[in-house]
């Protein structure tokens, strides 16, 4: 079977973060919006039940729609990266605000102190910046406030990642691919809205050869149309190797009809798959950001060997 390779893909040195053992400390960052205490506490209790220590660097300060000032949120995140006692950093929630602190982070220091970092939604910009500026592989995956609502498979994958299970063999529905063609490339992505807002900034990722995964929530179809059109006009779909689409919901939290994706992305010269188990719902399988991956169309399998 023909395999599409991106001959122009840029080589990047990838740093894999150390994994956790029972008794290790996890720093809980709030780089975006404030969280609901009851959901936060339920997620914290799950981590403790699994044998991890939990560290909070500050009380969450609500400043409007943000969890503290830009400097407070940036200092909190940097403090966790620089603290040798902290072995991983998880985010309390997304919302809005992570993009505001990108220029306040010291990526050279982060590069010297790599930590396991995970989040999704608004946290997309931090994961992509860590990869772009520090060469650090992070994870698109659950946050503290979303942990209690996840299905069993997502929780199992989350725990596996914390313990070093960075590799992945994720079955995909072969009926949800067009065209059905195998490919390989660097796996990365996240929230569509946040990713588009990185275009033209120093944090815009390298598109060449990417296996791009996307999700979004609360967006009307016409807004998603605009976002995909923006990527087309940027020439993104001429550079990447494949598109994997997770869950997309409209402002009423209803799933977006698959026919819209055929309208927006039909005719692309790259494989487009729907049904990836990521998003703001109960399914949110942790995916490595920046790892080399292989998409097997014949088996319907996304593989990452690390």
Confirm whether 204 is a catalytic residue. Answer: no
| Contacts with 277 (C-beta within 8 Å, 6 or more apart), sequence order | 153, 154, 170, 246, 283, 284, 285
Q: Coil, helix or strand for 189?
A: strand
Kindly name the residue from 72, 76, 184, 215 that is annotated as catalytic: 215
- Give the C-alpha separation, 80 to 75, whole Å: 9
Confirm whether 215 is a catalytic residue. Answer: yes
Cis ω before 83 (30° cut-off from 0): no
Question: Whole-angstrom distance between the N-terminal and C-terminal Cα of the chain?
Answer: 24
Kindly name the residue from 33, 72, 76, 121 that is annotated as catalytic: 121
DSSP string covering 77-107, please?
HHHHHH-TTEEEEEES--SS-GGGGGGG--H
- Give the C-alpha separation, 136 to 114, whole Å: 7
Instruction: State the angle between helix axes of 258-265 and 221-234 in degrees (0 to 180), rounded to the nearest 10.
Output: 30
Confirm whether 280 is a catalytic residue. Answer: yes
106 phi/psi in degrees, rounded to 5: -100, 95
Q: Which residues make beta-bridge pairs with 168?
A: 304
Nearest in space to 287 (alpha carbons), one of 157, 183, 192: 157
Q: Return the active site residues.
A: 121, 215, 280
């Amino acid at each position: 079977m023909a395999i599409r390779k991106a001959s122009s893909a840029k080589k990047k040195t990838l740093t894999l973060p150390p994994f956790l053992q029972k008794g290790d400390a996890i720093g809980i960052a709030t780089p975006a919006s404030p969280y609901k205490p009851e959901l936060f506490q339920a997620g914290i209790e799950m981590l403790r039940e699994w044998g991890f220590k939990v560290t909070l660097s500050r009380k969450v300060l609500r400043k409007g729609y943000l969890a503290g000032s830009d400097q407070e949120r940036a200092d909190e995140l940097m403090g966790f990266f620089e603290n040798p006692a902290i072995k991983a950093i998880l985010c309390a929630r997304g919302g809005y605000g992570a993009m505001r602190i990108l220029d306040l982070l010291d990526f050279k220091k982060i590069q010297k102190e790599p930590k396991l970092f995970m989040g999704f939604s608004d946290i997309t910009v931090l994961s992509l910046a860590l990869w772009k500026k520090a060469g650090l592989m992070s994870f698109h995956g659950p946050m503290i406030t979303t942990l209690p609502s996840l299905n069993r498979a997502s929780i199992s994958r989350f725990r596996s990642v914390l313990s070093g299970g960075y590799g992945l063999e994720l079955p995909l529905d072969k009926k949800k691919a067009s065209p059905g063609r195998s490919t390989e490339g660097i796996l990365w992505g996240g929230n569509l809205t946040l990713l588009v807002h990185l275009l033209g900034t120093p944090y815009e990722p390298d598109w060449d050869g990417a296996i791009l995964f996307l999700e979004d929530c609360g967006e009307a179809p016409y807004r998603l149309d605009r976002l995909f059109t923006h990527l087309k006009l940027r020439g993104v779909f001429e550079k990447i190797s494949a598109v994997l689409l997770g869950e997309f919901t409209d402002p009423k939290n209803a799933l977006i009809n698959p026919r819209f994706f055929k309208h927006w992305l039909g005719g692309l010269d790259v494989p487009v798959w729907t049904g990836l188990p990521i998003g703001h719902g109960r399914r949110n399988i942790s995916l490595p950001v920046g790892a080399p991956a292989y998409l097997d169309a014949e088996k319907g399998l996304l593989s990452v060997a690390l």
